[in-house]
Amino acid sequence: MPSPLSTVVLLASLVSSALSAPSQYDFSKIDPSQIIQRDVVVVGAGSAGLHAAINLIDHNKTVMVIEMKSRVGGHFETARDPISGRSAEAGVVILHNEPQVKQFFGRFNVPLRNISLNDLGPSSRPVDLRTGQLIPAGAIQQPSQQAQAQAFQKLAAFLAQYPELDRGLFVKEPVAPELLMPMGQLIPKLGLEPIANTLAGLVSNNGDFLNTPVIQVTRIVGLSLLQTIAGGSFLTSAKNDNSELTDKAGAELAAKKSLLLSSKVVHTRRQKHGVQLVVQTPNGIKYICAKKLLMAVPPRVEALQAFDLRQNEKDIFNKLIATGYYAAILNNTGLPAGQSYANVSPEKPYGIPDLPTTFTISANPIPGTFTAFYGTSASRSAYAVSDDYVKSQMIASIKKLQAANPQTANQTQPDFFYYTAHPPYAIQAKPEDIQAGIYRKMYDLQGQDSCFWTGAAFRAEDSSNIWRFNLEVVLPALLKSL
């Protein structure tokens, strides 16, 4: 529990700031017994926020986690079928075979199993989803395993020149031109053609692969991921339900009265010696006083109006761009059971289709259903396309498959068993802003006026890397500041 002295100091700061706060948020008029005291308030109960909160608890710190949605987990989303008892992932599917992953799952006794990329489902048939036509066998030349292994070695040698990038966006300035060039230029330069399509698949939800700056690709395909690939095994839930982890983390927080779901911060005051938040919850307004604030949500200025942002934070965050990424599990597809399809544009470089598009349509463990993933290019808009549009495009892709393959597919009307929208996704910077030091400036925000930051925008759309970033970068600095 917070010490009596720290409580007095924080309450004193509340009183001193009362005159400048709107009257409805005047903490000096609130009964002190009604003010929730915590060491750290964590905003966001996704993968980053839950991991940080649980680790803070394990360091004997008190926390309060605030989440706008009615559930925890963020991109950990699992569709569960009560009839068959089966489940299918609509978010995080695999994780790195690394200590921080085993540690977090082990903390909640959630069993893991090894899984290779080839184990994710049946081999995908290449298909041009613009027409629904299957690509004939032999039309796409498949590189040998030896050629792929050699290409991965070349990529590893390149990444070894920038070892600091495996810990985060620690970019030496001036930024090396090779890190700023489009991935489409690096591939022929290094001889990565045999793995170009594999790399595109690994980061397909990060935007237009061939035009994406190399540094953005390395956020996902870094040295640690290459080590996992070389080891031949990723990790995933032994029960095919990664959300069991986040559900159990949320349950522990709720049991400790340290979780507010369906709740929205409506006012924040940040000072050097503490923060005060007013939160609208299903049970009314809550007043929270904490030593530190940890933001684990996408840093979009339009969504953070209530968080007392500083001008330098606004200037940085307003330059960031993001992609749209969507997943659905569909019934009544008319497609042959157990089949999976990968979208390919044969005339395009490496067969990579233009965005926006449906990436894959794949059989999953829930009987009679298929999983579809859809993505857009990066832009300033947090929501470049509507959910209705995405759904219509997913169904259109399936209908094209049906029409072009009447021998194996039935003409049906697909419907949605489960749908989720992940944007703003893969938040990133443009090359000119990276050259100007935007990632250094983002990291310099840590601790400013009692506020720290974590999550995908500060590391990568990769929970394994986010958890490592928490353990190695964010939490040590945060704990030291308490």
The residue among 194, 136, 130, 175 whose CA lies nearest residue 345 is 130
Query: Can you give the residue range of the structural domain that contains 68?
Result: 29-73+238-317+429-479
- 51: domain CATH number? 3.50.50.60
For residue 119, the model assigns a pLDDT of: 75
CATH code (residue 334) = 3.90.660
**Two tokens at 44?**
């966001």
93, part of any domain: no
Predicted pLDDT of residue 19: 37
Same domain? 277 vs 326: no
Cα 50 from Cα 39, distance rounded (Å): 15
Closest to 176 measured CA to CA, from 165, 190, 192: 165
Where does a domain end: 425, 447, 467?
425
- Cα torsion for 435, 206, 299, 159, to the nearest 10°? -50
* Residue 86 belongs to some domain of the structure: no
Tens-place pLDDT, residues 377-425: 999 987 789 999 999 999 999 999 999 999 999 999 999 999 999 999 9
% of the chain at pLDDT higher than 90:
88
Statement to judge: residues 191 and 253 lie in one domain? no
pLDDT at site 18: 40
Residue that finishes a domain, picked among 410, 425, 440: 425
Q: Band the pLDDT of 12: cuts 50, 70, 90.
A: very low
Are both 408 and 433 inside the same structural domain?
no
pLDDT per residue over 438-477, tens digit each?
Answer: 999 999 999 999 999 999 999 999 999 999 999 999 999 9
The answer to the question of residue 22 being in a domain is: no
The 10s digit of each residue's pLDDT in 17-51 is 443 455 568 888 899 999 999 999 999 999 999 99
Whether residue 145 is found in the same domain as residue 257: no
Asked which of 386, 409, 425 is the last residue of a domain, the reply is: 425
Q: What is the pLDDT of residue 8?
A: 44
Domain for residue 376, yes or no?
Answer: yes
Could you read off the pLDDT of 152-178 as tens digits, one per residue?
999 999 999 999 999 999 999 999 999
Residue 293 contacts residue 276 (beta carbons within 8 Å):
no
Predicted confidence (pLDDT) per residue in 351-388, tens digit: 999 999 999 999 999 999 999 999 999 999 877 899 99
Burial class (CB in 10 A: 0-12, 13-18, 19+), 330: buried
State the Cα–Cα distance between residues 21 and 191, nearest whole angstrom: 59
- Residue 58 shares a structural domain with residue 123: no
Tell me: do 304 and 399 sit in the same domain: no
How confident is the model over 195-209, as a mean pLDDT? 93
How much is the average pLDDT of 260-282? 97
pLDDT at 384: 80
| Whether residue 243 sits in one domain with residue 350 | no
Residues 225 and 307 in one domain: no
**What is the reported pLDDT for 137?**
80
Looking at the fold, whether 401 and 337 belong to one and the same domain comes out as yes
**Residue 107 φ then ψ, to 5°:** -55, -30
Taking each helix axis from N to C terminus, what angle separates 145-159 and 223-231, rounded to the nearest 10 degrees?
Answer: 150
Same domain, yes or no: 188 and 283 = no
Mean pLDDT of the chain: 94
Task: Inform me whether the pLDDT recorded for 317 exceeds 80.
Answer: yes
Band of residue 120 on the pLDDT scale cut at 50, 70, 90? low
pLDDT bracket for residue 271 (50, 70, 90): very high
Give the percent of the chain with pLDDT over 70. 94
| Listed residue (278, 275, 281) closest to 266, CA to CA | 278
Alpha-carbon dihedral 297, 302, 306, 311, rounded to 10 degrees: 100
Q: Which pairing describes strands 87-89 and 415-421: parallel, antiparallel, or unpaired?
A: unpaired
Closest CA relative to residue 377, chosen from 385, 388, 365: 385
The H or E element spanning position 289 is strand 284-295
Look at the chain and report how many structural domains it folds into: 2
Please check whether residue 89 lies inside any domain of the structure.
Answer: no
Same domain, 196 and 120: yes
Residue 194 lies in a domain: yes
The span from the CA of 198 to the CA of 192, in Å, is: 10
200 inside domain: yes
Backbone angles phi, psi at 334, to 5 degrees: 75, 5
Assess if residue 94 is contained within a domain. no
Whole-number pLDDT of residue 117: 78
Check whether 326 has a pLDDT greater than 80. Answer: yes
Whether 206 and 148 share a structural domain: yes
